[in-house]
């Protein structure tokens, strides 16, 4: 159940919801849970949450004039221009707070190939959670 809760939290944290999964991850780590399984659950959940953002960006763009749409036209155009400037490699930084969720959404609006999106997003998020676990073991569990 621990790993499922972490998976769901990491999934939700990757969406446009303001959540964080690192505290829960470190809590479970300090409780003696298996680091590899924590890493897998957090990485998989966070990557799939980012994939949901990609899908939303890809298929909900036609609703951008609606009041509920998460980005206004000017901000979306600015984000798309930024994404064109830095390219798909910027997805390696999709784990960054504040900009990462929007980055994955914009990648969907820009019709980024899903296989490229998943490969780069998964890589960035796997490295991030690996570093969180490493730092947790190194600095807080020693």
pTM: 0.89
* 75-101 exposure pattern, b = at least 16 Cβ within 10 A, e = fewer: ebeebeeebeeeebebbbebbeeeebb
Residue 142's pLDDT band (cuts 50, 70, 90):
low
pLDDT tens, position by position, 86-119 = 889 999 999 888 788 889 999 999 999 999 999 9
Residue 141 in this model has a pLDDT that exceeds 80: no
Residue 122's pLDDT band (cuts 50, 70, 90):
very high
Q: Smallest Cα–Cα separation from 31: which of 140, 127, 129?
A: 140
Share above pLDDT 70 across residues of the chain, in percent, rounded to a whole number: 99
**Dihedral (C-alpha) 22, 27, 32, 35: value to the nearest 10 degrees?**
0
Task: Report residue 99 as tokens.
Answer: 């900009």
**Helices 22-30 and 2-14, axial angle in degrees (round to 10):** 160
Share above pLDDT 90 across residues of the chain, in percent, rounded to a whole number: 63
């Amino acid at each position: 159940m621990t790993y499922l809760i972490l998976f769901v939290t990491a999934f939700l944290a990757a969406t446009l919801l303001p959540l964080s999964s690192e505290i829960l991850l470190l809590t479970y780590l300090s409780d003696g849970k298996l680091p590899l399984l924590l890493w897998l659950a957090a990485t998989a959940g966070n990557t799939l949450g980012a994939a949901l953002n990609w899908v939303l960006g890809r298929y909900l763009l036609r609703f951008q004039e609606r009041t509920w749409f998460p980005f206004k036209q000017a901000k979306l155009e600015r984000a798309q221009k930024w994404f064109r400037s830095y390219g798909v490699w910027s997805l390696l930084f999709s784990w960054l707070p504040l900009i990462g969720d929007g980055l994955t959404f914009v990648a969907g609006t820009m019709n980024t190939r899903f296989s490229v999106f998943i490969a780069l997003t998964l890589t960035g998020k796997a490295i991030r959670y690996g570093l969180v676990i490493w730092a947790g073991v190194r600095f807080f569990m020693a």
